[in-house]
Chains A and B, each alone.
Chain A
Amino acid sequence: MKPTDIRDPEYFHKVVDCQYACPAHTPVPEYIRLIAAGRYTEAYMLNWESNVFPGVLGRTCDRPCEPACRRGRVEEKPVAICRLKRVAADYKDDVRALMPQGPFPPNGKKIALVGAGPASLTVARDLAPLGYEIHLYDDQKKGGGMMRSQIPAFRLPESVLDEEVDYILNMGIHTHFNCYVSSMRELLAKDYDAIFVGTGAPRGSDLSKLPGRQEGAANIHIGIEWLASVAFGHTDRIGKRVIVLGGGNTAMDCCRTARRLGGEQVTVVVRSPFKDMKASPWEIEDALREGVTILNCMPPKAFIVENGRLKGVLFEHVEAVYDENGKRTLVPTGQPDTFLEADDVLIAIGQENAFPWIERDLGIEFGKWDMPVLDPITFQSTHPKVFFGGDAAFGPKNIITAVAHGHQAAISIHLFCMGLDLHRDRPAPTVNIFQQKMGVHEWLYDNFVVNDRRYAVPHVPEEIALKNRRIEVELGFDPHLAYKEAERCLNCDVQTVFTSSLCIECDACVDICPTSCITFTYNGEEDDLRLRLNAPANNRSQDLYVSDTLPTGRVMIKDENVCLHCGLCAERCPTSAWDMQKYLYQVTKACKIWEIARASVAEPV
């Protein structure tokens, strides 16, 4: 294998699994260390720079970082990254002084953002400090988009959402709420320099062809519409027996909301097996804890309506059969159909994009699934002035993905408005690498690896939580628990940097490494090398760090897979050929938020 080029910013970035997996590439270990140090304000600002909604995401994020967490590969469970983020939001001081301070000198450019969800708000946050005049349109009465209409208050209190939406709106954004944009043609006719579409995936899928759907319509609701109606106070009760169709997170939010609005016997019915359910495991867990029943392998066959009133739903039974390519088909088992009684049914089987307001003769090309044709890097549509982001760009994903889209679209819009090239002039990520050595055996980071298992977030007792849909179920970590959980982080951003010219091949690192990551051997092809290392190296998604050839003709090979970043290799190295260096990788944003915040903090981070 060729020697690893550690000057490529992506090499060490990939070692920081959590950050690499985060669509917005939030510097996770860095903020976890700040939380452990009780520096919640700085932890919050580091998050805010990167993901814009730390308080919201600390409660609701899909957490792609956690399945990626290295800790989950060396013991049972990953670090509770998401809930640590919430700690930063809960215990921070007033952060407003650390944010860019308006009014910002205008740069003469005007942009329109359609939809006030996470993607548009991110664009607004990144561009407002640069002097753009920003007009934000939404048909709801407040900003937040799906964060407000689809996420129930018992998971995300309104005050938390308001706070983080207001940080952005108070930057001098021109808001046009209760205002549905019905024509892109009209919008284009106004004098905007660029238009960003962040309208999400607003249409809930229906089961319109199922018998009884029309007749029972009064008691059959589309999940996301029903959740929005609850959120805005239009709906405050539901029947005692509720069936929720679907197995995603919306279904979980529906069933849990139903439990709070009078649903006593709430049953979620999924057509696929449990293991294929799309809902996050922790959402399923919380629903089960609140007394919801989940039935699987039962597709609905018909809504049963008698005398114009919904009686229930008829289900058939299927089993999942997989062909040799792993493709799944649901095959009826022949078991007699099951009838479940219900007063109300909530359909939460998916969301779709819909752009009825965009005329198709404007030069905005639409492709497969009637989705806009976009440049995946710049988010620019085939109309140079029009950009898309969030669920509106590539279909329903999650908040953190929408934020990541927003950052990139903001850069594109800025480059476009400045007359620069959207690809060639895109800024590279910023990378800082800091030595951590303080003394012979002392490091700037807490290198000891604790054995603690994941700490559970305390909850409000169910009997209280179910009384009011506005009572937040999770209490969050207190500072003590947060410290304990933060200590579980392995500091994967503190990199093991090897300098081959210093190595005397004494084997000290090989002998000390708790997880046997390091091998000195003769070079070869990767397949061959992976078989010759001191420990099994079967995780091919993790790189091998290969040194230059050493005096004995061998090379140092480190399997990054289960390195604990404990620093013992560097501590036992007599020549400092191994060194622990903190690697801070940050995606460059249109506006230098972090630099502004850092300059305002008394003690530099």
Chain B
Amino acid sequence: MTYLRPEIRHPESKRNALGYTRQYYEGALSTLCAGCGHDSVSGAIVQACFELAIEPHRVAKLSGIGCSSKTPTYFLGNSHGFNAVHGRMPSVATGANLANRDLIYLGISGDGDTASIGMGQFVHAVRRNLNITYIVMNNGCYGLTKGQDSATADEGSKNKSGHVNPFHSIDLCGLAIELGATFVARSFSGDKAQLVPLIKAALSHQGFAFLDVLSPCVTFNNNPGSTKSYDYVREHMEVTAALDYVPEKAAISADYGEGEVCAVTLHDGSQVILRKLANDWYPSDRIAAMKYLHETRQRGEILTGILYLEATGRDLHAMLNTHRRPLNALSEEDLCPGSAALERINAESR
């Protein structure tokens, strides 16, 4: 087994605005199964951060437990990382975000970590509109414990041993839209052309950016009859809108051809250009998004692309009216204003 990736890279590797090559954003060599969808998602994250020219030290990667939650080791090796208890990543992320609002938070979770053991944590992070990019690598099974059906396995989906799932599945995107998330999208690990711009837009979004990425488990859930296999997802993908991510300052020169185009400006000045492929769907119409999601699901299709986007929502810091600066940038007097200040606060509550 090869444990180390050769250090040699393409001699003409492109450099981003910071002068880094893509290599600077890579992590350790993956120990996941060969062909795992998660590795492609890791690759897409590397590509997105490279293209956005994010300084790696400004990123905090947080994850829980599971195959998906191992992946932060395999990307952004020069960033901060925190591997939390199973399903408890949202709490750790909330705490970290409140302490230091200047970092870019990237939460990595799986369908088990989010839709089963971590469901109670996940829903609260959504409703608080925590400023984080929350990626679920969704393969519909518990790959780390040999492929039992997870809570996102579709009803009627057949697993590798031939067992058909009798339970209704949880649609995490529907849930996120319902609970007030301000950026909800779905994609597929095997479609980087869609996934990379979605990750870039999600990282630029201020607020809870939820990305449900169908990421086939090549070992336990890539069999005929599974609704989360490479073949099934490719055959049943439906797309809300073709998407382009345009960074701030870049001139918009792309030719968008036929179809209705709408541009959404994000908080940092970058833009998401959407060329709609679906009628009766508008990125900031929560009800239409829910309706469309239900309809495609009923037809047995998988709706991908941006499902809902509200660029003007207030994030947790805005709602709590916290200090603009992170705690580590405040002085001791600011943080411990003394007994007089305490008295004043107590007096307000009397």
Please report the C-alpha to C-alpha distance between residue A562 and residue B190 in the assembled complex, in whole angstroms.
25
Smallest Cβ-Cβ distance to B36: which chain A residue = A508
Residue contact A514 to B35, C-beta cutoff 8 Å: no
Contacts of B189 in A (CB 8 A): 506-507
Chain B interface category by residue count: 20 to 34
Asked if A448 CB lies within 8 Å of chain B CBs, one says yes
Cα-based distance from A511 to B37 in the complex (angstroms): 10
Which of A75, A568, A573 sits near B5, CB closer than 8 Å?
A: A568
Residue of A nearest to B222 (CB): A504
- B216 within 8 A of partner (CB): yes
| Stretch in B9-17, B62-70, B111-119, B280-288 touching the partner | B9-17
Interface contact B12-A508, CB-CB below 8 Å: no
Of B11, B22, B36, B231, most buried by chain A (CB within 10 Å of CB) is B11
Chain A hits for B10, CB < 8 A: 515-517, 535-536, 562
Question: B33–A507 contact, CB under 8 A?
Answer: no
**Secondary structure class of chain A's binding surface, majority of residues:** loop
- Beyond A506-B230, A510-B43, A514-B9, whether A447 also contacts B2 by CB under 8 A is yes
Decide if A506 touches B40 in the complex (CB within 8 Å): yes
| Chain B CB within 8 A of A420 CB | no
Select A451's contact among B8, B13, B40, beta carbons within 8 Å: B8
- Most central of B6, B11, B14, B218 by chain A CB within 10 Å: B6
Smallest CB–CB gap between B335 and chain A, Å? 44
In the complex, A567→B29 CA distance in Å? 14
Within 8 A of B (CB), among A78-132: none
In the complex, which residues of chain A have a beta carbon less than 8 angstroms from the beta carbon of B325? none
The minimal Cβ–Cβ distance linking A508 to chain B, given in whole angstroms, is 5
Q: Which residues of A contact B6 (CB under 8 A)?
A: 448-449, 451, 514, 564, 566, 568
Measured CB to CB, the closest approach of chain B to A505, in angstroms, equals: 6
Evaluate whether A441 and B1 lie within 8 angstroms (CB atoms) in the complex, with A507-B43, A508-B35, A515-B10 already known.
yes
C-alpha gap A363/B168 in the complex (Å): 93
Taken together as a complex, chains A and B put the C-alpha atoms of A514 and B43 apart, in Å, by 12
Task: State whether A73 touches B35 (Cβ < 8 A).
Answer: no
Alpha-carbon distance between A595 and B62 when the two chains are bound, in angstroms? 60
- B329 at the A interface (CB under 8 A): no
Could you say which residues of chain A place their CB within 8 Å of the CB of B234? 505, 551-552
CB <8 Å contact, B218 and A515:
no
B42 part of interface (Cβ distance < 8 Å): yes
A113 to chain B, nearest CB (A): 47
Instruction: Choose among A517, A538, A571 the residue that contacts B2 (Cβ–Cβ < 8 A).
Output: A571
Chain A residues with CB below 8 A from B13, complex form: 516, 535
The 8 Å CB contact of A511, one of B7, B14, B43, is B43
Is A10 interfacial (CB-CB < 8 Å)?
A: no
What residues of A have a CB within 8 angstroms of the CB of B35 in the complex?
Answer: 504, 506, 508, 572-575
Does A526 interact with chain B (Cβ within 8 Å)? no
Is residue A276 contacting chain B, with contact meaning CB distance below 8 A? no
**Separation of A115 and B216 alpha carbons in the complex (Å):** 70
User: Which residue of chain A lies nearest to B229 when distances are taken between CB atoms in the complex?
Assistant: A504
B9 pairs with A515, CB closer than 8 A: yes
Q: Known contacts A448-B4, A506-B40; can you find 4 more A-B pairs with CB under 8 A? A: A74-B11, A451-B6, A552-B234, A571-B2
What are 11 A-B pairs at a CB distance below 8 A?
A440-B1, A440-B34, A504-B35, A506-B190, A510-B43, A511-B43, A514-B9, A551-B231, A564-B8, A571-B1, A574-B35
- Per CB-CB distance, the 3 closest pairs between chain A and chain B, nearest first, are A574-B35, A449-B6, A441-B1
